[in-house]
Amino acid sequence: MGKKLYVGNLSFQTTDSTLMDAFSQFGTVESARVVTDRDSGRSKGFGFVEMSSDQEAEKAIQEMDGADFDGRNIKVNEARPMAPRDNRGGGGRGGRGGRDGGGRGRY
């Protein structure tokens, strides 16, 4: 089982493929993804790389943390598990219908 790495302080020009290329010198990269804003498609300045082994991941952390990549000193460490999200639904009006959200509209 590989290890997922968090890569922060990325240049906004960094792509999935340039991220993969940079980390492939330390071993097999299972996946590399720059996180983008869902509305604009613009990079959020961080991403994730999954290495095929823990040893390769440790080597990548040692070599890449603080290194200059695309003109930025990047931060690399082991990714933390994603925190559970509060899944309340959505809509912003409390699901009550009506224009004012107060339930006085027609049902």
Q: What does the pLDDT read at residue 1?
A: 47
What is the arithmetic mean of pLDDT over 97-103?
55
Residue 31 falls inside a structural domain: yes
Q: Specify the 3-state DSSP secondary structure of 91.
A: coil
Distance separating the N- and C-terminal Cα atoms of the chain: 53
Token pair in block for residue 65: 């943390």
Q: Residue 93: inside a domain, yes or no?
A: no
Give how far Cα 26 sits from Cα of 20, 42, 56, 73, 97, Å. 10, 28, 6, 18, 55
Domain contains 32 = yes
Residue 25 pairs in a beta bridge with none
pLDDT tens by residue, 62-97: 999 999 999 999 999 999 988 887 776 655 555 555
Tokens read off for 40: 């604009």
The model's pTM is: 0.76
What is the span of the domain harbouring residue 42? Answer: 3-78
Count: domains in the chain: 1
Q: Tell me how far apart the alpha carbons of residues 77 and 53 are, in angstroms, rounded to a whole number.
A: 15
Q: What is the CATH number of the domain that holds 74?
A: 3.30.70.330
Residue 33 lies in a domain: yes
> In this structure, is residue 60 part of a structural domain?
yes
